[in-house]
Amino acid sequence: MTDIVRPFWIMVQKEISDHVRSWKFIILVALILLTTIGSLFTVLSIIRGNAANINSDNTFLFLNLFTTSDGSLPPFITLIGFLGPLLGIALGFDVINSERNRGTLSRVISQPIPRDHFINSKFVGALAVICVLVFSLGFLVMGLGIISIGIPPTPDEFLRIIIFLLLSCVYIAFWLNLGIVFSTTFRQSSTSALSCLAIWLFFTAFYSMLVQILANAVYRDPYSIKVLTLILSRLSPNYLYSELTTILLTPSIRSLGALSIEQIYGAIPSSLPLGQSLLLIWPHITGLIAASIICFGISYIFFMRQEIRA
């Protein structure tokens, strides 16, 4: 068993080393780091100067580091939702076809190791880099926040932030697996990159407009339009991630959709505990994990069935 597992982790270490040393990764990390620091300093200035208006009873004040913005720069959750897919795509769009074009794929497969070690190591290595980067940024925000405002996170806030970082890794892993799918399908890296970027741009900029047009064409009453728009919007991974992170880091949000007068009547305004927030977003979490697994399963099947010649 050790003779089989050890080569796999050696391949994973090689993939991690290749990603960390690549210019595309360095440029993306620099971009994400600069925007994160800029957004953090903006939020800290808001919290220090107007903490009473941000949160009058000082409850969940620490979570505002990740959700508050003055409009000049988006908050941390929005930055991860926008730049995270680019990171996943950058690490996955050429992992297979670049090896094939260089002629190294056939040499690796000819070694006495299981064939699936190759694609599995590509995924695990890139996912490890993503997790380290996301958690490093999250702990950087928490550390600078503690130093600046002098208030440590409560246990509930800390758990919410850790779960948020884990779900961010799952969200970026979906785009990583999508890149691997196109890298396995197309021989040219440029084609796979453009395909991934086209899908990312479609869900980021155009999908919401198409959903709104479709809902207005099917229904006339506002309530039905709102319901159909919400259902169709949740088919987008971007919307799922945005909704689940907003609910997770904003405990005052108690529902996912519009409530009727009967449902609102008699309700006491309060924050949801962590368990209830997780129950509220559990379908979103399941959807993101399922989408990521499906994408990786497709790339795995494609790769295992492909003929690799020297």
pLDDT digits (tens, 9 = 90+) for 229-278: 888 998 999 999 999 999 999 888 867 765 544 444 445 556 788 888 89
Q: Judge whether 266 lies within some domain.
A: no
DSSP state of 112: S
Are the CB atoms for 88 and 197 separated by under 8 Å? no
pLDDT of residue 306: 81
Q: Under a CB-based contact definition with an 8 Å cutoff, are residues 119 and 18 in contact?
A: no
CA distance 4 to 186: 30
User: Quick one: pLDDT at residue 264?
Assistant: 47
The position carrying tokens 């690799």 is 308
How far apart CA 57 and CA 68 sit, in angstroms, is: 16
- Three-state DSSP at 299 gives helix
Residues whose CB is less than 8 angstroms from the CB of residue 245 and which lie 6 or more positions away in sequence, other chains included: 77, 80, 81, 164, 167, 168
Pairwise CA distance, residues 134 & 127, whole Å: 10
Q: Residues near 46 by Cβ (< 8 Å), separated by ≥ 6?
A: 54, 64, 68, 70
Residue 50 banded pLDDT, cuts 50, 70, 90: low
**More reliable by pLDDT, 51 or 120:** 120
d(CA 226, CA 240): 16
Residues with Cβ within 8 Å of 300's Cβ and at least 6 positions away in sequence, in order, are 116, 119
Is 264 part of a structural domain of the chain?
no
Q: What is the Cα–Cα distance from 57 to 251, expressed in whole angstroms?
A: 14
Q: What is the pLDDT of residue 2?
A: 53
The 10s digit of each residue's pLDDT in 5-20 is: 678 888 899 999 999 9
Q: Indicate the pLDDT class of residue 174, thresholds 50, 70 and 90.
A: very high
Stated as kind and residue range, the H or E segment containing 150 is: none
Q: Which helix (H) or strand (E) holds 140?
A: helix 116-149
Report whether pLDDT(79) > 70: yes
Do the domain assignments include residue 290? yes
Residue 267 lies in a domain: no
- Place 86 in a pLDDT band, splitting at 50, 70 and 90: very high
Give domain status of residue 32, yes or no. yes
Q: Which pair of tokens denotes residue 38?
A: 């800029």
Task: Inform me whether the pLDDT recorded for 310 exceeds 80.
Answer: no
H helices of 150-236, where? Answer: 155-185, 189-201, 207-218, 222-233
Instruction: Locate 237 and state its tokens.
Output: 């991974």
Q: How many residues does the chain have?
A: 310
Question: Number of folded domains in the chain?
Answer: 1
pLDDT classification of 116: cutoffs 50, 70, 90? confident
Name the percent of the chain lying above pLDDT 70.
Answer: 88
Looking at residue 62, the DSSP 8-state letter turns out to be T
With respect to residue 265, please indicate whether it lies within any of the assigned structural domains: no
Kindly indicate the confidence band of residue 123, based on its pLDDT and cuts at 50, 70 and 90: very high
Rounded to 5 degrees, φ, ψ at 282 are -60, -40
Residue 310 lies in a domain: no
pLDDT band, very low/low/confident/very high, at 67 (cuts 50, 70, 90) = confident
In this predicted model, which residue has the larger pLDDT, 106 or 263? 106
How would you label 213-240 residue by residue, b for 16+ Cβ within 10 Å and e otherwise? Answer: eebeeeeeeeeebeebbbebbbebbbbb
Q: Average pLDDT, whole number, for the chain?
A: 85
Residue pair 5/109 in contact (Cβ under 8 Å)? The answer is no
**In terms of residue numbers, what domain contains 215?**
2-257+272-305
C-alpha to C-alpha distance for 246 and 80, rounded to whole angstroms: 12
Q: Establish if 90 belongs to a structural domain.
A: yes
